[in-house]
Structure 1
Amino acid sequence: MQYISTRGTALGQYTDVLVAGLAPDGGLAVPAEVPSISAETFESWRALSYPELATEVIGMFATDIPREDLARLTAAAYEGSKFEAEDIVPLTDIGGGMTLVGLSEGPTLAFKDMAMQFLGEAMEYALAKNQDILNILGATSGDTGSAAEYAFRGRDRIGIFMLSPQGRMSAFQRAQMYSLQDENVHNIAVEGVFDDCQHLVKTLSEDLAFKNAQHLGAVNSINFGRISAQIVYYVWAWLRATDAVAADDRATFAVSFAVPSGNFGNILSGYYAKLLGVPVRRLVLASNENNVLDDFFRTGIYRPRTSAETLATSSPSMDVSKASNLERFVFDLLGRDAERTAGAWRTLAETGSFDLTAEQPRLTAEFGFASGTSTHEDRIRVIRDVFERSGVIIDPHTADGAGVAAEFVEDGVPMLVLETAKPRKFPETIAEALGETPEPPAAVRELMDAPQRVVRMANDEQALREFIETHAVR
């Protein structure tokens, strides 16, 4: 399979875009043509384990990796001891017509592990094959950073520089990242918000001379490797949700997915799953108070907020106002027209917004998206309601998803709510909702008490350049 940029450049194959991250023209890598999967093939996958299914799904996109090598990579990524649940991604009824898709069973207790564990194996494979090195530059609003660092820590060919916004993550999220002492892991707390961190990453990635000199790559959701790995759990969830459906009806039995969304990467993976052939009725996008994406899907106008306008909320991993993955979807919305896509982002840079109101009706009618906004009061109520009816405690981001999903529950259409993280990562919010929070396990208490290593830095491009030049893997 060949890949192209959303702005028109040919990019090569899967392992090429895996290591490169942002395209040289500033766009994002997308498949030149998305494959389709027959009903018979889906049915043949039903009995597969999660790593076996990952081999099949990712293999549709990673055609340049020999199948036996890919099977070894997925087996290592989804090895049972790394995950709390035996079946890796469990499905749990939480009442109200909704089912929780458990994506937080991995080492950092967040859905980002599902893609990042694979990316760690796949990147090391690609680098070893070419006798190359990579310095990963990323930005996190909470969970991407820890998932990336746990996936890449201690790897000889890889350095990782992770930017996070000072004071904008939970204490647990900070402890997971900053307590790591591996020499190849560098945590940089930037003065500002997540979008400032993301802007620094994009600025340095677009400087091709600096990028090449420092061997920079990316593991946040601009890397298509993550998108491909996330598609797997959409296929898995549909297969599990339809296990009890009569065999003759399975091929067309539709489900809806509700996805807490900040950077648009997770729900984009659901969109690709739908393109592959998974019968998806709706993709329900849930925003928190930073509801730029909800505004776009309701109006067709994309107007990111400034750093000063981006709110600090109780679902901090979604405190994003510039969704870097939206460009991939807009590329398809505009008929895969690279010139129009590049033009939209030029307009965005010049005016602070772009207007696709003419295309807005297609977002629901053709692409199946719905959206809504959740507030702090909403998520507190939803955490309480879900616990009272099912005994399951969900984290605040997942509560945003469940709260918005409730509006779109339909008889006969399972509503699958994608979990963001384990609730113990956000004890203050859980305590507010339930009156108390369970005593954390000894391992969590030990993590919170561990010494932390982090570099504090102004929102300063030159300072970041100098730090990377000094500490990059050579």
Structure 2
Amino acid sequence: MKYRSTRGSPKLLSFSEAVLVGLAEDGGLFIPENIPNLPENWSKAWSNLTYKSLALEIFSLYIPREEISREDLKNLIDKSYSTFTSNDITPLKKIRKNLYILELFYGPTFAFKDVALQFLGNLFEYLLEKKNKENKEKEKITVLGATSGDTGSAAIYGLRGKKDISVFILHPRGKVSPVQEAQMTTVLDKNVHNLAVEGTFDDCQDIVKNLFADRSFNEKHHLGAINSINWARILAQIVYYFYSYFQILSSLNITIESKEICLQYCVPTGNFGDILAGYYAKKMGLPINKLVVSTNSNDILDRFFKNGRYERVKGETGAIVIETLSPAMDIAISSNFERLLWYLVYENIGKKEEERNEEEKGKEASNTIREWMQDVKVSKSLIVEKSILDISLCDFISESISDQETLDTISKYYSPENENQISYVLDPHTAVGVAAADKQNISPNTYQICLATAHPAKFSQAVEKALENFKEFKFENILPKEFIGLLERERKVVFVERAEPPLVKQVIENELNNE
């Protein structure tokens, strides 16, 4: 298994190289040469596996044994998920007859990003140690990432104290929740550096991409990517789609061979990484009917799936990025969407010209993506032909959810009218996914799985506002012990006054010199 760039660089990389490099030299994202088929007996063989064992089987389809032995891979997985407080890692909770919540917040930072970043942190350390054993010169890497909230803390907790690794996380100053900011900035390890940038998440993300594209800076500091542009992030998230499939079959006491149910996954969506993992799971052979793209008022993705237009537009206030109650999704351009676009173009070519071979289709798809991404960069707009939109709608549907709908959803799920529905406290991002689920007209045999991307205690402002009329609700009753006193702890953060790459480069140089 080799990995190619979405933008057509002829250089194919190994899994290890793709992980350590993060972003392709032509600015593209790495995708596997092909999406592997599932083993013939996968549904029976995997049905009773633990989460860790299932991860081993799925990872092994993408990671050749000559790169990472099965034993080493197993040890990496065991180490990564030993930090989770649930034995199931990602437990599935029934809310009512046809609706389930996939709880992804049992890692160290109480967010779904832990599932991938605990693994990626250990993977970075493993690959770097292996590389340094083979080479005479010792290499260090500088991991660089941007965050709208949860990626930053999860990356930091995954990399703190790691040998020969420094991590720099850029976040938009004042635009992440107080808990998210505290989780990042109260980590005082010498190899951890937080940069509060005056700007938006998209500004931070653009700076990260700019620094990766700066060849001399990249080569000097051996930059590594921690955002979901890194393929390993997507790979790690594929697992919980399969695990939840087996969980729901067990819950419903349905046999693997049964065709009785139709599965719909509703995913709060910002940078498109989480739902893209579901797309890969579906293409591998997991029987998913539809993936529901659930956005907040920053609805560039919803507009694409509605009319084929992928473009930045200004909101009522004149801002391109609207500040909402679900800040981790306050994004104008979704980095991982480029990966999906590549597959859509590739499939469209195949439908139009069936005689074309795989290599020719891949090259043409990459050429198209390279042109499109330049258009998005320059004109902030992309319009695809109807045939491509139609292909996307075979796998996706979408909804955009307002802040008021988010608050209403938190409220009605805390105090449900349906006596057969349990009370549940949603965080605002999960509420976006659940609200989108509620808008779907589903058949009696359709079961919806909504991904709970964060613990509600991370977003006290939204939760308390939604539940202010419920006098019996006490926020401290849902507060994890790890959050007590968090906001009062000592912090380490560098303020960057303008969202400019040269300023960030200078901060990184200074911080590395002082490590």
Shared fold (TM-score, shorter chain, > 0.5): yes
Aligned to 2:485, the other structure's residue is in SS state helix
What does 1:256-267 correspond to in 2, within 5 Å? 256-267=264-275
Of 221-230 and 58-67, more deviation after overlay is shown by 58-67
**Per-residue displacement from partner, 1:294-335 (whole Å, max 9, x unpaired)?**
111111111034793201110000000110000000000001
For residues 185 and 426 of structure 1, what CA distance do their matches in structure 2 show? 24
The aligned residue for residue 426 of structure 1 is 459
What does 1:209-358 correspond to in 2, within 5 Å? 209-243=216-250, 244-247=252-255, 249-250=257-258, 253-305=261-313, 308-335=319-346, 336=362, 337-358=365-386
The aligned residue for residue 460 of structure 1 is 500
Deviation at 1:136?
Answer: 0.6
Deviation at 1:217?
Answer: 1.0
The aligned residue for residue 26 of structure 1 is 27
Unpaired runs of 5+ in structure 2?
Answer: 133-138, 347-361, 417-421
Aligned to 2:293, the other structure's residue is in SS state strand
The answer (yes or no) to whether the contact 2:260–2:445 under 8 Å persists in 1 is no
Which TM-score applies when normalising by structure 2? 0.88
In our comparison, the structure showing a higher alpha carbon Rg is 2
Aligned to 2:24, the other structure's residue is in SS state coil
Deviation at 1:434?
Answer: 1.3
**Per-residue displacement from partner, 1:268-308 (whole Å, max 9, x unpaired)?**
00000001110010000000011111111111111034793
Unpaired runs of 5+ in structure 1?
Answer: none
For residues 90 and 207 of structure 1, what CA distance do their matches in structure 2 show? 42
Deviation at 1:398?
Answer: 0.2
Q: For residues 377 and 96 of structure 1, do their structure 2 counterparts lie closer, same or farther at Cα, with a shift above 3 Å needed?
A: farther
What does 1:173-188 correspond to in 2, within 5 Å? 173-188=180-195
Deviation at 1:114?
Answer: 0.5
1:438 to 475, 495, 499: 475
Q: For residues 461 and 305 of structure 1, do their structure 2 counterparts lie closer, same or farther at Cα, with a shift above 3 Å needed?
A: farther
Deviation at 1:96?
Answer: 6.7
**Per-residue displacement from partner, 1:349-389 (whole Å, max 9, x unpaired)?**
2221111042212221x3x1000011111011111111223
What does 1:169-208 correspond to in 2, within 5 Å? 169-208=176-215
Deviation at 1:213?
Answer: 0.8
Which TM-score applies when normalising by structure 1? 0.96
The aligned residue for residue 391 of structure 1 is 423
RMSD of aligned alpha carbons:
1.6
The percent of aligned pairs where both chains have the same amino acid is: 37
Aligned to 1:308, the other structure's residue is in SS state coil
The answer (yes or no) to whether the contact 2:172–2:199 under 8 Å persists in 1 is yes
**Per-residue displacement from partner, 1:190-223 (whole Å, max 9, x unpaired)?**
0011000000000110112211111111010000
What does 1:2-17 correspond to in 2, within 5 Å? 2-9=2-9, 10-17=11-18
Deviation at 1:165?
Answer: 0.3
Report the AA paired with residue 382 of structure 2.
Answer: F
For residues 113 and 17 of structure 1, what CA distance do their matches in structure 2 show? 20
For residues 400 and 302 of structure 1, what CA distance do their matches in structure 2 show? 21
**Per-residue displacement from partner, 1:239-265 (whole Å, max 9, x unpaired)?**
111224543634785411000000000
The answer (yes or no) to whether the contact 1:214–1:472 under 8 Å persists in 2 is no
Of 90-99 and 70-79, more deviation after overlay is shown by 90-99
The answer (yes or no) to whether the contact 2:261–2:445 under 8 Å persists in 1 is no
Question: Once superposed, which parts of structure 1, at least 4 consecutive aligned residues long, lie more than 3 Å away?
Answer: 250-254, 305-308, 440-443
What does 1:13-162 correspond to in 2, within 5 Å? 13-38=14-39, 40-63=41-64, 64-79=67-82, 82-95=83-96, 97-131=98-132, 132-162=139-169
For residues 381 and 357 of structure 1, what CA distance do their matches in structure 2 show? 37
The aligned residue for residue 399 of structure 2 is 372
For residues 304 and 456 of structure 1, what CA distance do their matches in structure 2 show? 28
The answer (yes or no) to whether the contact 1:95–1:386 under 8 Å persists in 2 is no
For residues 482 and 151 of structure 2, what CA distance do their matches in structure 1 show? 21
Aligned to 1:256, the other structure's residue is in SS state strand
The answer (yes or no) to whether the contact 2:261–2:447 under 8 Å persists in 1 is no
The answer (yes or no) to whether the contact 2:44–2:256 under 8 Å persists in 1 is no
**Per-residue displacement from partner, 1:413-451 (whole Å, max 9, x unpaired)?**
210000110000011111111124421354312212111
The aligned residue for residue 512 of structure 2 is 472
Aligned to 1:119, the other structure's residue is in SS state helix
For residues 16 and 253 of structure 1, what CA distance do their matches in structure 2 show? 40
Deviation at 1:472?
Answer: 3.2
Q: For residues 103 and 442 of structure 1, do their structure 2 counterparts lie closer, same or farther at Cα, with a shift above 3 Å needed?
A: closer
